[in-house]
Amino acid sequence: MLSSLLSIFIVSALFNNVIMAQFLGTCPFLGVSKSIETASGMGFAVIFVMVLANIITYFVQLLLIWAKVEYLQTLAFILVIAGLVQMVEIMLKKLSPGLYKSLGIYLPLITTNCAVLGIALLAIKKNYGLLESVVYSFATAFGFLVAIVLFAGIREQMKYSTIPRAMEGFPIALITTGIMALAFMGFAGFKLPF
């Protein structure tokens, strides 16, 4: 049991990293990675939202199955997630105005962060139970945090280098991500000892 949870954690955080292997959540990844501080803020917000979203959607799915309307899954999930994000936004505004200010426009955009909806849908698709689903979402969000903080670190360094004019902004960010993804592919060679 524990080893299967641990393997879910390692596989989803590193081997199958949301950004580097699954392309989920690329918009905030490119958008809020200019400094390590905002990147980690975004990362923690995603961890919080993603785990909560997975817990809630687990029960929503049970409800949908009970009412025999599974085809409403996408609609129901996105509404629940949108409501949740709104709540997190209000809480953050009250509790940490500084962080709220720096995350700015991107907090409402967690709603359209495909990673949150994507992971909720994937957890259902993989037939995970509640505990597995929580571990899975936490691991995935943790993988997001690791990736975005590493990337923000590289971007902070990049400020001091001269980049060809045509490569400034998105192109160099995408190519850097590509090289990082190449590095993350190295994890695929590992074999879990359990």
Partner 1 sequence: MSINFKNELYRGIVTENPIFRIVLGMCPTLATSTSAMNALGMGVSVIAVLTCSNMVISMLRNVIPDKVRIPAFIVVIATFVTVVDLLIAAFIPPLYEALGIFIPLIVVNCIILGRAEAYAAKNPVVPSIVDGIVMGIGFTLSLTMLGAMREFLSAGMIFGYAVAPFKHQFILMILAPGAFITLGLVLAGINFIQNKES
Residue 80 to residues 53, 77, 154, 159, 186: CA-CA distances in angstroms? 8, 5, 35, 39, 36
Neighbours of 11 (CB within 10 A): 17
Q: Say whether residue 121 binds partner 1 (CB under 8 A).
A: yes
Contact 46, 18 (CB under 8 A): no
With residues binned 3-state (H G I as helix, E B as strand, rest as coil), the percentages for the chain, rounded to 5, are 80, 0, 20
Measured in whole angstroms, the distance separating CA 99 from the mean position of its chain's CA atoms is 18
d(CA 76, CA 151): 33
Q: How far is the CB of 176 from partner 1 (least distance, A)?
A: 8
Determine which residue in the list 62, 171, 190, 192 makes contact with partner 1, applying CB under 8 A.
171
Q: How far is the CB of 53 from partner 1 (least distance, A)?
A: 12
**Complex with partner 1: residue 131 or 188, whichever CB lies closer:** 188
Q: How far is the CB of 189 from partner 1 (least distance, A)?
A: 14
Q: How far is the CB of 95 from partner 1 (least distance, A)?
A: 23
d(CA 78, CA 21): 23
Q: How far is the CB of 181 from partner 1 (least distance, A)?
A: 4
Positions 57 through 116 that interact with partner 1 (CB under 8 A): 71-75, 78-79, 82-83, 108-109, 111-114
**Complex with partner 1: residue 30 or 92, whichever CB lies closer:** 30
Q: Which residues bind partner 1 (CB under 8 A)?
A: 20-27, 30, 71-75, 78-79, 82-83, 108-109, 111-114, 117-118, 121-122, 125, 164-175, 177-179, 181-182, 184-185
